Structure 1
Amino acid sequence: MPAPSRLTWPKSLTLAIPTLLVTLAAAVLSQPAPASATAGAHDSGVLAVTHKSPFNCGKTFYANNWTGGHNPEGSIDWQDYGGDDVNGETVRATAAGTAYFYDAGSTSYGKWVEIRHSDGTRTRYAHMSSMVKSAGSTLSVSQGTAIGTVGSTGNSSAPHLHYEQRTSGGGMDTSPTVEGVTVSLGQKKAITSSNACGGGSNPYTPEGVCGSGYAVIDSAALTGGRTYLLYNSGNGYNCVVTLKTSNLGTASAVSAFLEPQNESRTTDSGSYDYYAGPVRRDAAGQCVRWGGSVGSSSYTSGFEHCG
């Protein structure tokens, strides 16, 4: 049997192999590293979104990035400053994004919100006494949109706002920057808010104030606002809320009332930042009189929407 023939390379290809290998190696080295290899470097980077204070324009509170048991380390506790009590203050988005609403009950963060920003970073706002949406809801927010109020829910010993800035990978930024002021570990700084100083639209909606199941069935314009009548077909209740369109974020006179026919009137009135109400009454099968006011402008309906 003849010996098998030997496969031989053309001389020109043999000479070209070293050059080809060098070219391929250079191409491989020039490719970007896979996402998993760069994640750590990205997580430790500086947050790209610019954050304002989570409070009303002109409000000053302490941002306390304390060490020694704070969990997670690097988060800020917003606390009283001078004679200003942070409890009950409106909490605002420090930057635009999508807000996710949660409720951990009497544990952990209590009532809390996470806002996911356009660059993948996140902020968290915890221990709130109330939220503008129910747990499980989402809301597209602008910088300055109200998301709740300061409280002491969850694992909290006193009213304050727990605040975090997190990278897109979920890691903590342990030296967060708010209003251009960096608060590093162990620091406590008084910061004045420039958030929501430009006015804008009311961040609340009638449905959001009255709650799940309510739909607007009537409304009336006021100078500086609008009053709304809503109905919940599931439980037979009406709800009235008056939303301001001027002097937003500043306490001023506003009211809302609801009166089922042949029954007493229920009214909510006071100096409020954004709205009066909700005033809810069982009115199944009844006519109702409703209305509200903003400043000196008021509206009162006749008895209507019967049934």
Structure 2
Amino acid sequence: MTVTSPFRRRSPRRWALAALAALALVASPAAASAAVPAGAVHDGAVVLATSHKSPFSCGKTFYANNWSGGHSPNGSIDWQTYGGDAVNGETVRATAGGTATFDDEGGTSYGKWVQVVHGDGTRTRYAHLATMVRNPGQTMSVSQGTVIGTVGSTGGSQAPHLHYEQRSSSGVVDTSPTVDGVTVSVGQKKAVSSTNGCGGSSNPYTPAEVCGSGFAVIDQAALGSVGRTYLLYNSGNGNNCVVTLKSTNLGTPTAVSAFLEPQGASRSTDSGSFGYYAGPVKRSAPGTCVKWGGSVGSTSYTSPFEHCG
């Protein structure tokens, strides 16, 4: 069957983006209405959160401070100097792809700030910036790692730092945001090293993560420079699994597919506009040959019937 719903079933660290239009932005940074946070059930399916990198350049390490009490809004992070890396003046990058809107509140609240609405409707905010790459009121499409400004101390800031928030599609702040695989809950302060903009394929997912426990890669095929499709097998239950991982446009919804066809049976396909991967497509086929493959954009791969053991 072909899966076309923009909402996807839960699997380990799964995030599959739908090709949704960017939602309307909150008019004021202080506005945050009650909402269902990412990870909640929507129309019977789980809506999972966007995967975020650090908002800084590759290799930069800064403290992510999620203050306990008195920080507004609760759950937002102050990025501060760590070791020899002074945060003031540092380049700020989008932690995931989406549509960025630029604003300037002068000497109050956020000062110069940017909001990025991601493909699943979730949002990130970057405040107290010294400079922005667009004028207030302008928008631009960004990918993960796109430069949006520099760290400063505008607005209600007491000292140079980057104020950062992760919000649900309706504005609820995530009080335990995760960046570059590090979760920083309220009351915690952690040093986070950035892999944002490091180049090459920075897809945060692996085929085994997507397919789940017990699966191991037994074959793979490159899709030019835009991705790779994988065949995995679980020897414990005889299940096959196919997943296609993107290498470009990470965090931005683009066409991706994965399929699996046991010989003599119908084909199962997972296709749509996703940020990181298509799949997992799982079928039980012990002792049966399978045809498998996938695509990213117009580049595709289809195997012959093989792996018949």
TM-score (norm 1): 0.51
- Say which structure is richer in helix: 1
Counterpart of 1:305?
Answer: none
* Counterpart-to-counterpart distance in 2, 1:177 and 1:47: 13
Counterpart of 2:109?
Answer: 108
* Counterpart-to-counterpart distance in 2, 1:43 and 1:91: 24
Query: What displacement does 1:48 show?
Result: 1.7
Counterpart of 1:48?
Answer: 49
Counterpart of 1:69?
Answer: 70
* Counterpart-to-counterpart distance in 2, 1:41 and 1:75: 18
Higher relative contact order (CA 8 A, sep 6+): 2
Q: Is the 8 A contact 1:128 1:161 kept in 2?
A: yes
* Counterpart-to-counterpart distance in 1, 2:171 and 2:67: 20
Q: How does 1:259-278 map to 2 (within 5 A)?
A: none
The yes-or-no answer on 1:95 pairing with 2:96 is: yes
Counterpart of 1:122?
Answer: 123
Query: What displacement does 1:191 show?
Result: 0.2
Query: What displacement does 1:41 show?
Result: 4.0
Cα pair distance change 1:42/1:129, threshold 3 Å = closer
Look up the equivalent residue of 1:94 and give its one-letter code.
T
Counterpart of 2:156?
Answer: 155
Give the number of equivalent residue pairs: 162
* Counterpart-to-counterpart distance in 1, 2:170 and 2:81: 32
Q: Is the 8 A contact 1:106 1:153 kept in 2?
A: yes
* Counterpart-to-counterpart distance in 1, 2:186 and 2:83: 22
TM-score (norm 2): 0.51
Q: Is the 8 A contact 2:77 2:165 kept in 1?
A: yes
> Please, what is the CA RMSD of the aligned residues?
1.7
Query: What displacement does 1:47 show?
Result: 5.0
Counterpart of 1:173?
Answer: 174
Look up the equivalent residue of 2:144 and give its one-letter code.
Q
Look up the equivalent residue of 1:163 and give its one-letter code.
Y
Secondary structure of 2:165 counterpart: strand
* Counterpart-to-counterpart distance in 2, 1:83 and 1:195: 19
Q: Is the 8 A contact 2:61 2:192 kept in 1?
A: yes
Cα pair distance change 1:65/1:42, threshold 3 Å = closer
Structure 2: state its 5+ residue gaps: 1-33, 41-46, 202-309
Query: What displacement does 1:67 show?
Result: 1.4
Cα deviations by residue, 1:84-128 (Å, 9 ceiling, x for unpaired): 100000000000000000000000000000000000000000000
Cα pair distance change 1:172/1:81, threshold 3 Å = same
Look up the equivalent residue of 1:181 and give its one-letter code.
V
Query: What displacement does 1:66 show?
Result: 0.6
The yes-or-no answer on 1:191 pairing with 2:157 is: no
Q: Kindly, what percent of the aligned residue pairs are identical?
A: 72
Counterpart of 2:133?
Answer: 132
Structure 1: state its 5+ residue gaps: 1-38, 201-307
* Counterpart-to-counterpart distance in 2, 1:136 and 1:40: 26
* Counterpart-to-counterpart distance in 2, 1:162 and 1:41: 23
Secondary structure of 1:54 counterpart: coil
Counterpart of 2:147?
Answer: 146
* Counterpart-to-counterpart distance in 2, 1:109 and 1:47: 28
Q: Is the 8 A contact 1:44 1:173 kept in 2?
A: no
Query: What displacement does 1:42 show?
Result: 4.5
Cα deviations by residue, 1:54-73 (Å, 9 ceiling, x for unpaired): 00000000000011210001
Q: Is the 8 A contact 2:38 2:49 kept in 1?
A: no
Cα pair distance change 1:41/1:114, threshold 3 Å = closer
Query: What displacement does 1:169 show?
Result: 1.2
Cα pair distance change 1:192/1:107, threshold 3 Å = same
Q: Which has the larger radius of gyration?
A: 1
Cα pair distance change 1:172/1:73, threshold 3 Å = same
Query: What displacement does 1:43 show?
Result: 5.5
